[in-house]
A and B are shown apart, each in its own frame.
Chain A
Amino acid sequence: MLPRHLWGHIALLIAIVVILTGCGKAPADLVLLTTGNTTRTAVAAAVKEFEAENPGITVQIVNTPGKDYYVKSLTMLAGRAQVDVMWMGQGFGIFAGRGALLDLMPMIESDSGFDLSRYQSEVVGWYRQGQGIYGIPYGVETLVIAYNKDLFDAAGMPYPHSDWTVEEMIAAGRKLTQFNKDHRRIKVAGLGMKEIDYRYFGLTLLTPDHQRFALNTAEGREWLELTTQLVSERILQKGGELESLDRLTGFLNGQVAMMEIASWDIPEVKNRALFSWDVVAIPIGPGGKRAAWASSSGYSIVRSTRKPDLAWQLVKKLTNAGFQKQIVQRTVPVSPSLHEEYLSAHQGSPRHLSELLKMLPYMQPLERIACYQEIEAEWVYWRDQALLGKIPPAKALEQAESHINRILSLHTGPRPQ
């Protein structure tokens, strides 16, 4: 048989495992899924306050930063695990579109202490589906153009002003772009963008009813042709997704004169830029319209919750003015009354931060539908084909239209309840 000491080791091992198994805790009353580092302390503080106000109630915070948040939350929901309150960002459509969230309207109506009008109404609108409202926002994210003043000065050019147009932006970008002698390498990129967003041209990806692809029009073709042209001239830079961490590198190194930055980037640029810089509103498009990408963060209650009333109390804690004030350094508060506070928290750097707030009426969020990610991936595929010069823009739009409409038609059944 086996020598004695081996059995000893095995026994020890089994003992360790058994002891560790015993470490399981009692389940919490509420499970809160949240993400990110910026709100971590604020969430912890709000939950502490909530627990103090509701003695005997425990909340488990499950924090998963980054893209992994979706893998984590989807696994938990698909596995029918207990989830009561969830952070909501651009993925709202995924959950709401599949009926995973609870309608908050009854609670809002019966709760006299809650005043929805304190929240910016457009943003609240993004959480509506039909008659219901499926989440409460705490913050808004939108875009501005950041520019390197030193590079503008060196080129002897005036800074952009808040009523500038897309044409002016392109012209400035063209002037600021510096190639080296043999024109092979870029010294300074005028526009650190992958594309000029179709939103600037007053276009949308889908029709307002989300039934069809909307870019395959004369205006859409004109936009994609212009963008492709600018890419081939190397005025626009390929690469650099909005969500990537390294996208600011060129700007921070002083090699990019202008680029879109999001509201969450401002502290980063502020801390790391070693040149003078400022921000300006997104330029006005050809039709006199102005629009920019925007998003919102908030919290929703999961339909399967057993304690909806408690969950509602927690959601209120995580979205109220106090919470918004806690994270005002990073996130634009959704309550207009706190905007002054947002500006003063940044102490006048960048100087024209109010340009960011000026963009709030022109926000255009992603379509919040269940199959958005699939449509976006399809769109990116065809757009890249055009930008890389593999197929002409008109063909790319045609292909994108037929593929995206097919995906949309697959998803326009009655929503599962």
Chain B
Amino acid sequence: MYKERRIADIRDVRTRTLEISKRTTIWLLLLLLGISMIYPLLWMVGTSVKTIDPILLAEEGARSSIFPEGRDILKNLFPERWHWENFIEVFREVPFGRYFFNSVLISGVVTIGQLITCSMSAYAFSRFSFGGRDKLFFCYLGTLMVPVTVTLIPTFILLSWMGLIDTYFALIMPGMFSAYGTFMLRQFFMGIPKDLEEAAGIDGCGPFRIFWHVILPLSKTALATLAIFCFLANWQSLLGPLVKVNSDELKPLTLGLLNFVDLNSANWPLLMASSLISILPLIVLFLLGQRYFVSGIRLGGVKG
């Protein structure tokens, strides 16, 4: 018995070394790929702490040039002295705090709204049979296929006819009903086995309680994923807010950041510092959501 155990141990050790070397290879591969993916981000960080003061620039020399030249690409990525004050300067130069607040508010409320309306409509599309359901669904899908540039003016006319131009309402309300979210959640709901609901139905649960007690708890993953999607999309949208907002107090970050890019020149350090601050919430959201959205989502069921 003792002998047998030792043989098993040896085999175990061997497979384990194999496993470890395999893992190390994968790890190194990921690291290598990751570095090339991250280079632009490093450049952003480096640029955000460079100086635009000509006197300091002359002192620091080539290390502070925004686009390092040929062989200095890695060497000159970061300046000699890191000017963290750029990050404070951003708030002084423009009402950055206000833009930031607007972006959080708009993206946040739109996301909550989409989670509610899209989950409800997705439930209807995936579970109820009613006349013209599939046609209506394709109609939803179809709206994703029209480029936003041609709807800009009609949207503007519609909103100004409703007297909503330059309000939070115009920025938030239209975003709350998304075809994309409906499509994604429908696909997910299709993958949830129907026997659960049937069991609940036999217990006397109506569609509302099934939705609330069976479907939604099972789709936390999908909801978290949609939340990230939706938040991200709204956080980055530019053309929509551009036509809907006039005053500075209502501008989201994407519009606010344009202030650092003039028609013909850019304040690179401030532009990059502000871009970095503006992706922080997305990183936080990603880290928070990770727990939910990698624990299983099934986009099943093409047909009804």
Contacts and interface: CB of A to CB of B under 8 A. Distances in A.
Contacts of B261: 37, 65-66, 245
A271 interface: yes
Contacts of B247: 25, 60, 62
Contact of B57 (A36, A255, A272): A272
A24 to B, nearest CB: 5
A75 B165 contact: no
Contact of B69 (A75, A246, A255): A255
Contacts of B57: 271-272, 274
Given A17-B169, A21-B167, A66 B246 contact: no
Contacts of B200: none
Contacts of B196: none
Interface string A21-65: 101110000010001111010000000000000000000111111
Interface in A218-270: 243, 245-246, 249, 252-255, 262, 264-265, 267-268, 270
B138 interface: no
A133 to B, nearest CB: 24
Interface size class of B (residues with CB under 8 A): 35 or more
Contacts of B109: 13, 16-17
Most chain A beta-carbon neighbours within 10 Å: one of B156, B166, B261, B264:
B264
B259 A40 contact: yes
B169 A20 contact: yes
A274 B62 CA distance: 7
A347 to B, nearest CB: 12
A79 interface: yes
Contact of A37 (B62, B246, B259): B259
A410 interface: no
Nearest to B152: A75
A17 B243 contact: no
A154 interface: no
Given A20-B172, A24-B167, A68 B258 contact: yes
B43 to A, nearest CB: 13
A21 B160 contact: no
Contacts of A66: 258, 261-263
A17 B263 contact: no
A3 interface: yes
Given A10-B116, A81-B160, A249-B67, A17 B173 contact: yes
B54 A272 contact: yes
Contacts of B246: 31, 60, 62
Interface in B237-278: 238-239, 242-243, 246-248, 255, 258-267
A65 B258 contact: yes
A253 B67 contact: yes
A72 B242 contact: yes
Most chain A beta-carbon neighbours within 10 Å: one of B53, B57, B164, B258:
B258
A273 to B, nearest CB: 9
Interface string B162-180: 0111111100110000000
B153 interface: yes
Interface string B36-77: 000000000000000011100110011001110100000000
Contacts of A17: 109, 169, 172-173
Interface in B186-245: 206, 208, 212, 238-239, 242-243
Nearest to A3: B212
Contacts of A61: 248
A68 B242 contact: yes
A274 B65 contact: yes
A182 to B, nearest CB: 16
A245 B266 contact: yes
Nearest to B60: A274
Contact of B243 (A72, A249, A253): A72
A265 B156 contact: no
A20 B242 contact: no
Nearest to B238: A68
B113 interface: yes
Nearest to B108: A16
Most chain A beta-carbon neighbours within 10 Å: one of B54, B165, B243, B262:
B262
B264 A79 contact: no
A79 B244 CA distance: 11
A24 B248 contact: no
Given A65-B261, A81-B160, A271-B57, A20 B243 contact: no
Contacts of A71: 152, 239, 242-243
A67 interface: yes
A78 B263 contact: no
Interface string A266-292: 011011101000000000000000000
B172 A13 contact: no
Contacts of A72: 242-243
Contacts of A60: 246-247
B157 interface: yes
A62 B166 CA distance: 11
Given A6-B212, A13-B113, A36 B262 contact: yes
A80 B263 CA distance: 26
B134 to A, nearest CB: 27
B20 interface: no
A9 B173 CA distance: 16
Nearest to A63: B248
B12 to A, nearest CB: 52
A12 B68 CA distance: 52
A21 B165 contact: no
Given A37-B267, A63-B259, A252-B66, 6 more contacts: A37-B259, A65-B263, A66-B261, A68-B242, A79-B160, A270-B54
Interface of B: 52-54, 57-58, 61-62, 65-67, 69, 109, 112-113, 116, 152-153, 156-157, 160, 163-169, 172-173, 206, 208, 212, 238-239, 242-243, 246-248, 255, 258-267
5 contacts: A13-B112, A13-B116, A17-B172, A71-B243, A245-B261
In the complex, the 8 A-B pairs of residues with the closest C-beta atoms, listed nearest first: A20-B168, A21-B169, A271-B54, A253-B69, A79-B156, A62-B246, A65-B258, A37-B262
Interface of A: 1-3, 6, 9-10, 13, 16-17, 20-21, 23-25, 31, 35-38, 40, 60-69, 71-72, 75-76, 78-81, 89, 243, 245-246, 249, 252-255, 262, 264-265, 267-268, 270-272, 274
